[in-house]
Amino acid sequence: MTASPVVPSPFLRLRQWWTRPSAHPAKVAQFDRPLAPWLFVAPQLLIVAIFFYWPSVQAVTSSFYLEDPFGFGAAFVGLDNYREALSSTEYRNIAGFTALFAATVTALSLGLGLLLAVKADAVMRGAGAYKTALISVYAIAPPVVGLIGMMMFDMHIGPFTKAAALFGWEMRVGIDYRDTAVALITVAVWKQIPYNFIFFLSGLQAVPSSVREAALIDARSGWRRFRDVTLPLLAPTGFFLLVINITYALFDTFGIIDVMVKDKPANNPITLVYKVYLDGFKGNDIGGSSAQSVILMVVVAALTVAQFRLIERRVHYG
């Protein structure tokens, strides 16, 4: 008997693992000494503690203090740092841009990744070459992507700037707020497409060929087949990528933004994460920066919970 088609979803496995641990009685290792299992997990725990819990606690603590820029002392100020951040117009503007940036980057990179995956999936001849070409971008480090982006959008030699000029659009990336935003989004999307492409492609290839053939007999329109059969079967992959992409847009674009905006004059768009860095490490306002990062953490946590609650319910896992 064949199993019903399963589109691989890392979340599903995770979920099964934690909601029904007894359903799959996994191998149970028996240790003679009670200390042994702790020793085995110790390295991992240590890493998590040092690089995640400790900084988190530090961030939360220092968000309640106003620190001397030179580190000579700190005064407890309660929620002042939060109040200041949330009431600042600049902070709100950046939060607004961050939301727009995250939404646009996620939507575009998911959409284009899916489009390319669907098209690459249909290619029979030379499929390997296409896939390699599309995936290879993923191997480029974010700062390098930022550099390439800067060259592409350079005011003097950038091909994109020249192309825009053909349509009468004088792009001034690094000077004009909107132009810089367009460049940032373009480069961030370009960097993320390969990741989505890989996942969507493997998701597509997990759709059984007989199901596609049944659809071929049932529906003449390719769009209907895609909308009613392929897309729902890709939903678990899509949901996984949605979470990953939002996180990417919020956090992992730091390197790109840093390279493209750093040392540029004028008022350029940045995201919240970059502002945390600017205030904390350039402005030496550790307290304010910590408060911002705590706010960001809460927002992302809330967003992820909301996604799981609202969207995952509609996702069909094979």
User: How far is residue 66 from each of residues 54, 69, 71, 90, measured CA to CA in Å?
Assistant: 20, 9, 10, 20
**d(C-alpha 132, C-alpha 116), whole Å:** 12
Per DSSP, the three-state class of 170 is coil
Minimum distance of another protein from residue 15's CB (angstroms): 16
Minimum distance of another protein from residue 21's CB (angstroms): 22
Looking up tokens 């706010």, which residue turns up? 295
Spatial contact of 315 and 240, defined as CB atoms under 8 Å apart: no
Cα-Cα-Cα-Cα dihedral sign, residues 199, 202, 207, 213? positive
275, 276, 277, 282 alpha-carbon torsion, rounded to 10°: 80
The residue among 88 and 205 lying less far from another protein, judged by its C-beta, is 205
Among 115, 147, 176, 232, the residue binding another protein under the rule CB under 8 A is 232
Query: Please, is 135 exposed, middle or buried when counting C-beta atoms within 10 Å of its C-beta (0-12, 13-18, 19+)?
Result: middle
Convert residues 1-30 into a mask of x (bound to another protein by CB under 8 A) and - (unbound). Answer: xx-xx-------------------------
Among 83, 92, 224, 264, the residue binding another protein under the rule CB under 8 A is 224
User: How far is residue 192 from each of residues 92, 111, 134, 195, 205, measured CA to CA in Å?
Assistant: 26, 11, 11, 6, 20
Among 8, 143, 255, 318, the residue binding another protein under the rule CB under 8 A is 318
Of residues 53 through 92, those in contact with another protein by CB under 8 A are none
- For residue 76, the cross-strand partners are 65
Minimum distance of another protein from residue 224's CB (angstroms): 6
316 in contact with another protein (CB under 8 A):
yes
Minimum distance of another protein from residue 211's CB (angstroms): 5
The residue among 26 and 217 lying less far from another protein, judged by its C-beta, is 217
The residue among 225 and 262 lying less far from another protein, judged by its C-beta, is 225
The residue among 171 and 235 lying less far from another protein, judged by its C-beta, is 235
Cβ neighbours of 28 (radius 10 Å): 5
The residue among 138 and 226 lying less far from another protein, judged by its C-beta, is 226
Give the list of residues 6+ apart from residue 75 with CB closer than 8 angstroms, or none: 65, 66
Minimum distance of another protein from residue 238's CB (angstroms): 13
Minimum distance of another protein from residue 221's CB (angstroms): 7
In 141-265, alpha helices (H): 142-152, 159-166, 177-205, 209-218, 222-225, 231-247, 254-261
Of residues 202 through 221, those in contact with another protein by CB under 8 A are 208, 210-211, 213-221
Among 40, 55, 228, 283, the residue binding another protein under the rule CB under 8 A is 228
Minimum distance of another protein from residue 304's CB (angstroms): 24
Give the list of residues 6+ apart from residue 227 with CB closer than 8 angstroms, or none: none
The residue among 235 and 276 lying less far from another protein, judged by its C-beta, is 235
Per DSSP, the three-state class of 106 is helix
51, 275, 259, 243 alpha-carbon torsion, rounded to 10°: 60
**d(C-alpha 228, C-alpha 77), whole Å:** 56
The residue among 75 and 216 lying less far from another protein, judged by its C-beta, is 216
The residue among 119 and 227 lying less far from another protein, judged by its C-beta, is 227
Minimum distance of another protein from residue 223's CB (angstroms): 11
The residue among 82 and 200 lying less far from another protein, judged by its C-beta, is 200
**Applying CB under 8 A, which residues contact another protein?**
1-2, 4-5, 208, 210-211, 213-221, 224, 228-229, 232-233, 235, 316, 318
